[in-house]
Chains A and B, each alone.
Chain A
Amino acid sequence: AQKITQTQPGMFVQEKEAVTLDCTYDTSDPSYGLFWYKQPSSGEMIFLIYQGSYDQQNATEGRYSLNFQKARKSANLVISASQLGDSAMYFCAMREGYGGSQGNLIFGKGTKLSVKP
């Protein structure tokens, strides 16, 4: 069964520094996608970045990059040059390409990031 694990309930980072949020996953499907979402205190889920299981290069989107290590089944999010507005919950999620669920997104429990001025 597919599973997402985020082992860091909370993280602190100094403004302008980089931070890595950990995510490991488990799936038997060779075709899957990994996503990171940001959820500010206002509640909306904001899509940040995507990594496909067959992608050769790590995904990058502005200050966000994904450190994808397929053999270790890890997909860590790296935020560079942290800003105060980055303070939020961050969720790692996975979507399989095949199978009966037809694309349900499975979420981890999240990591609460706090950026200190």
Chain B
Amino acid sequence: EAGVAQSPRYKIIEKRQSVAFWCNPISGHATLYWYQQILGQGPKLLIQFQNNGVVDDSQLPKDRFSAERLKGVDSTLKIQPAKLEDSAVYLCASSLVPGGLGAYRHSPLHFGNGTRLTVT
């Protein structure tokens, strides 16, 4: 099966500019995640979708970050305006489990190759 697709692979922008990232999850995966990974750290969740609804966006800086998954398939993450501290790798992941209490613990997340963002 095809993996999680992300684009672009790299992006360099100046602070205060805007940028958008795109993700296409594995076919049939209802749950989609965006993670931010700052150099030297583990990934941190920004937002989680189930189908086209937001499940968790508690760690998304909503004054500058936005994300959507309109048709329950692919998703875009936008930053506007960018700050220097937004320099990171943005990872998209998807997971098969659509629901069911207790079922989540079994299912791994499948990640894309990520987008490396540099803000200058």
Partner-B contacts on A (CB < 8 A): 4, 31-33, 35, 37, 42-47, 50, 52-53, 91, 93, 95-98, 100-105, 107-110
Which residue of chain A has the shortest Cβ distance to B45 in the bound complex?
Answer: A104
How far apart are B62's CB and chain A's nearest CB, in angstroms?
Answer: 17
| Given known A-B contacts A45-B91, A102-B50, A104-B48, A95 and B56 have beta carbons under 8 A apart | no
Most chain A CB atoms below 10 A, which of B42, B106, B110, B112:
B42
Which chain B residues lie closer than 8 Å to A105 at the CB level?
A: 33, 43, 45, 93, 109
Which chain A residues lie closer than 8 Å to B50 at the CB level?
A: 102
Which chain A residues lie closer than 8 Å to B112 at the CB level?
A: 44
* Number of B interface residues in the complex (CB < 8 A): 32
Residue B116, interface by CB 8 Å: yes
CB–CB A43/B113 < 8 A? yes
How far apart are A77's CB and chain B's nearest CB, in angstroms?
Answer: 14
| Given known A-B contacts A45-B91, A104-B45, A109-B41, A97 and B102 have beta carbons under 8 A apart | yes
CB–CB B105/A96 < 8 A? yes
A-B contact pairs, 22 of them (CB 8 A): A31-B105, A32-B105, A33-B106, A33-B107, A44-B111, A45-B91, A45-B109, A46-B111, A47-B109, A47-B110, A50-B106, A50-B108, A52-B105, A96-B104, A98-B101, A101-B48, A103-B105, A103-B107, A104-B56, A105-B33, A105-B43, A109-B42
Residue B87, interface by CB 8 Å: no
Which chain A residues lie closer than 8 Å to B116 at the CB level?
A: 43
Which residue of chain B has the shortest Cβ distance to A43 in the bound complex?
Answer: B114
How far apart are A26's CB and chain B's nearest CB, in angstroms?
Answer: 15
CB–CB A91/B42 < 8 A? yes
Residue B75, interface by CB 8 Å: no
Residue B2, interface by CB 8 Å: no
CB–CB A45/B104 < 8 A? no
Which chain A residues lie closer than 8 Å to B97 at the CB level?
A: 103
A116–B110 Cα distance when bound, in Å, is 29
A9–B30 Cα distance when bound, in Å, is 34
